[in-house]
């Protein structure tokens, strides 16, 4: 009976000791002279249940609790000491590795100065390459590495040396800075004009930035544009095909005559007549021909550049963009592409040069463009196509033989051409009004009748179809009607308007089988010309001459017929030269 409390105390002691060993591992860590060890030794030497045994168990429990509390205090103290070390220790500096370390030592750039610094042996030195950001402690030892970062000064590549070093410039500073490449850029192709990110000390090129300006103008792939997709320009198309396809079809014959293929074309004429479509068709068909007939593994690379887009107010920026366009085209040629540089509204950047007494952008852009073109050998290198509404404003140095060799006029479509363009847009798979089909007996006859109705509206000679009054130096006064100013773009817009009218009628009536009617096309023609969306809103002769097929030297005045008739019968409201 007297031993039962001892047994309970012994069980509790074993439970407490087991919990202590499992949670804290105290039995493995404390020494033989610790208080707990001494109490355990007394309990082992006195197995009898005397009156002191229960006191020993109570002492042991107190000591165990005290040791647990001490361990928790020591752990909290270690955390506080670590926190204190972090908040009181000096900050690590961030440097830049300049070369691959050898034998635990490397060259680093820190605060604009170079140091031959030791590397912490615990750090994998093989990961440190030129351009790597590193952590440096107060003893100037490399103790860690960081990622490459995302910010820094931006410079422009001026020259790439044979040994891989790069000469760059920044802003308007003309003096170049010679820099080395980061380790990740050793195999990267750099070219003059590239934008690069450099370190703040201007010692190393860290990243090559995308060519934003050149990329915005590039179409990696163009949609299929066969010659049959362009209506009403057979003469211009034939002139281009004779120039670009015949040398590829009969190379031996052209070689025997020592014929030099031209470098580029000028497509000039009124807007909306297919100059851009012809430019894309040249790219598509020439590459298709070389790929199918000659077995050349080529792909087209079409760069569509609008003249005003590359104009820049900063001195030298427009010239830089011209260089980048040609540089990118040549690079693509080396990669197996056949690049096409199509410059729309060419007169805006390649206009006639003014007097050198004052700076004008044409005084520097035109010579730069001529220099770039002189570096092109033939159409097999880079194809240059210029498009303009006012070719008479382009500098003669651009249009001389040896640069832009072929000048091709893209005329307004005549009546037969307009008919063919309508057949391109009014295809046989379009829904046609059932009443039209019943009236003409068949779907094909109804489609022909729709096209004829649209043609009659376009070439109407009624008073409301009059558009312009053109006064010539000979004294003759010409009145121009809708048909005199028609273009492929206008015809496409007319068909689009007719489709909208048919869709609105189908929605309003709930008849989803409705189709295009002759009335839709006639209303579309009236709406297109009456709203004058394709015509200048002012009386400026310069603007109107872009739309006309007249020689600018022979035109005295141009004015809308309605304004002349209502406000000034004698034509005083017309714009005069």
**DSSP one-letter string for 538-576:** S--HHHHHTT--S-GGGEEEEEEHHHHHHH-TTSTTSEE
CA 390, distance to chain mean position in Å, is 29
Q: Is 111 helix (H, G, I), strand (E, B) or coil?
A: coil
**Cα torsion through 505, 511, 516, 519, rounded to 10:** -50
DSSP state of 348: G
Q: What is the pLDDT of residue 252?
A: 83
Q: Is 486 helix (H, G, I), strand (E, B) or coil?
A: coil
Distance CA 332, CA 326 (A): 10
Q: What is the pLDDT of residue 500?
A: 92
Strands 105-110 and 113-118: what pairing? Answer: antiparallel
Residue 398, CB-side half-sphere exposure with 13 Å CA sphere: 30
Tokens 């493995």 belong to which residue? 28
Strands 133-136 and 142-145: what pairing? Answer: antiparallel
Residues facing residue 229 across a β-bridge:
none
> Could you tell me the end-to-end alpha-carbon distance of the chain, in angstroms, rounded to an integer?
134
Q: Which two tokens stand for residue 365?
A: 């852009």
Asked if 194 and 155 touch (Cβ cutoff 8 Å), the reply is no
Nearest residue to 103 via CA among 119, 88, 80? 119
**Cα torsion through 153, 157, 158, 164, rounded to 10:** 120
92-138 pLDDT, tens digit each: 888 888 887 778 888 888 888 888 888 888 888 878 888 888 889 88
Distance CA 292, CA 284 (A): 12
Q: Which two tokens stand for residue 115?
A: 């140091």
Distance CA 352, CA 397 (A): 9
Residues facing residue 177 across a β-bridge:
168
Entry field: residues in the chain: 577
Cα–Cα distance list, 94 to 104, 110, 123 (Å): 18, 7, 16
Asked if 250 and 305 touch (Cβ cutoff 8 Å), the reply is no
Residue 238, CB-side half-sphere exposure with 13 Å CA sphere: 4
Residues facing residue 128 across a β-bridge:
none
Tell me how crowded residue 277 is: count the other CB atoms within 10 A of its CB. Answer: 17
332's enclosing H/E stretch is: helix 317-334
**DSSP one-letter string for 409-458:** E-PPP-HHHHHHHHHHHS-TTS-B-HHHHHHHSSHHHHHHHHHHHHHHHH
Helix axes of 51-88 and 35-45: crossing angle, nearest 10 degrees: 160
Longest dimension (CA), the chain: 144
Q: Which two tokens stand for residue 379?
A: 């159409």
Q: What is the pLDDT of residue 562?
A: 56
Strands 177-181 and 204-208: what pairing? Answer: parallel
Tell me how crowded residue 172 is: count the other CB atoms within 10 A of its CB. Answer: 8
Distance CA 366, CA 356 (A): 13
Q: Which two tokens stand for residue 290?
A: 């070389």
Instruction: Indicate if the alpha-carbon torsion angle 54, 60, 62, 64 is positive or negative.
Output: negative
Q: Is 38 helix (H, G, I), strand (E, B) or coil?
A: helix
**DSSP one-letter string for 198-228:** E-TTS-EEEEEPP-HHHHHTEESS-----GG
Sheet of 264-268: strands edge to edge?
Answer: 218-219, 299-306, 337-344, 383-388, 264-268, 406-409
Distance CA 534, CA 440 (A): 34
Instruction: Indicate if the alpha-carbon torsion angle 36, 42, 47, 53 is positive or negative.
Output: negative
Distance CA 475, CA 466 (A): 20
Residues of the chain with pLDDT under 70: 1-32, 47-51, 171-175, 211-222, 248-249, 293-298, 312-313, 315, 353-362, 376-380, 532-547, 549, 562-577
Distance CA 252, CA 379 (A): 17
384-434 pLDDT, tens digit each: 888 888 888 888 888 888 788 888 888 888 888 889 889 888 988 888 888
Distance CA 505, CA 524 (A): 14
Listed in sequence order, the residues at least 6 apart from 488 whose beta carbon sits closer than 8 Å to its beta carbon are 230, 231, 232, 272, 273, 274, 277, 413, 421
Asked if 458 and 486 touch (Cβ cutoff 8 Å), the reply is yes
Q: What is the pLDDT of residue 27?
A: 43
Q: Which two tokens stand for residue 400?
A: 């001389």
Tokens 């020439």 belong to which residue? 286
Cα–Cα distance list, 67 to 28, 59, 451, 570 (Å): 14, 12, 103, 116
Tell me how crowded residue 495 is: count the other CB atoms within 10 A of its CB. Answer: 23
Asked if 494 and 513 touch (Cβ cutoff 8 Å), the reply is no
Nearest residue to 538 via CA among 555, 559, 557, 554? 559
């Amino acid at each position: 009976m007297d031993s039962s409390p001892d047994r309970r105390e012994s069980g509790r002691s074993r439970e407490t000791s087991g919990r202590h060993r499992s949670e804290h591992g105290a039995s493995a860590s404390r020494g033989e002279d610790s208080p707990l060890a001494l109490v355990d030794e007394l309990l082992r030497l006195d197995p009898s249940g005397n009156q002191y045994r229960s006191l020993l168990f109570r002492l042991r429990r107190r000591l165990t609790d005290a040791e647990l509390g001490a361990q928790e205090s020591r752990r909290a103290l270690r955390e506080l000491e670590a926190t204190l070390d972090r908040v009181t220790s000096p900050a690590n500096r961030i440097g830049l590795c300049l070369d691959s370390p050898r034998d635990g030592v490397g060259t680093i750039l820190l605060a604009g100065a170079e140091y031959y610094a030791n590397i912490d042996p615990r750090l994998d030195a093989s990961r440190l390459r030129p351009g790597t950001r590193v952590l440096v402690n107060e003893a100037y030892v490399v103790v860690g590495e960081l990622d490459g970062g995302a910010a820094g000064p931006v410079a422009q590549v001026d020259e790439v040396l044979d040994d891989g070093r790069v000469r760059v410039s920044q802003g308007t500073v003309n003096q170049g800075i010679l820099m080395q490449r980061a380790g990740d850029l050793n195999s990267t192709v750099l070219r003059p004009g590239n934008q690069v990110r450099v370190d703040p000390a201007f010692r190393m090129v860290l990243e090559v930035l995308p060519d934003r300006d050149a990329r915005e103008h590039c179409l990696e792939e163009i949609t299929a544009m066969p010659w049959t997709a362009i209506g009403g320009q057979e003469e211009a198309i034939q002139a281009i095909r004779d120039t670009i396809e015949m040398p590829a079809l009969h190379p031996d014959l052209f070689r025997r005559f020592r014929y030099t293929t031209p470098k580029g074309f000028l497509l000039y004429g009124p807007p909306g007549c297919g100059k851009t479509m012809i430019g894309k068709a040249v790219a598509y068909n020439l590459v298709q021909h070389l790929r199918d007939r000659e077995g050349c593994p080529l792909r087209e690379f079409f760069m569509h550049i609008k003249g005003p887009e590359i104009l820049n107010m900063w001195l030298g920026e427009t010239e830089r963009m011209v260089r980048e366009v040609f540089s990118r085209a040549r690079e693509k040629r080396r990669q197996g592409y056949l690049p096409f540089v199509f410059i729309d509204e060419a007169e805006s950047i390649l206009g006639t040069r003014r007097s050198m007494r004052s700076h004008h952008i044409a005084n520097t852009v035109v010579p730069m463009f001529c220099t770039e073109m002189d570096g092109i050998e033939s159409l097999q290198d880079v194809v240059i196509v210029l498009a303009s509404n006012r070719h008479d404003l382009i500098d003669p140095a651009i249009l001389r033989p040896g640069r832009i060799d072929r000048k091709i006029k893209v005329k307004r479509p005549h009546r037969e051409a307009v008919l063919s363009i309508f057949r391109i847009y009014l295809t046989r798979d379009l829904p046609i009004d059932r009443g039209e089909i019943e009236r003409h007996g068949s779907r094909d006859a109804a489609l022909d009748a729709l096209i004829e109705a649209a043609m009659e509206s376009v070439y109407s000679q009624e008073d409301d179809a009059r558009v312009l009054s053109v006064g010539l130096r000979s004294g003759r006064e010409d009145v121009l009607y809708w048909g005199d100013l028609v273009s492929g773009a206008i015809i496409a817009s007319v068909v689009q308007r007719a489709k909208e009218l048919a869709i609105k009628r189908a929605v309003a009536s709930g008849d989803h089988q409705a189709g295009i009617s002759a009335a839709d096309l006639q209303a579309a023609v009236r709406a297109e010309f009456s709203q004058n969306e394709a015509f200048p809103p002012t009386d400026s002769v310069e603007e109107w001459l872009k739309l006309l097929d007249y020689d600018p030297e022979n035109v005295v005045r141009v004015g809308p017929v309605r304004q002349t008739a209502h406000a000034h019968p004698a034509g005083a409201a017309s714009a005069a030269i």
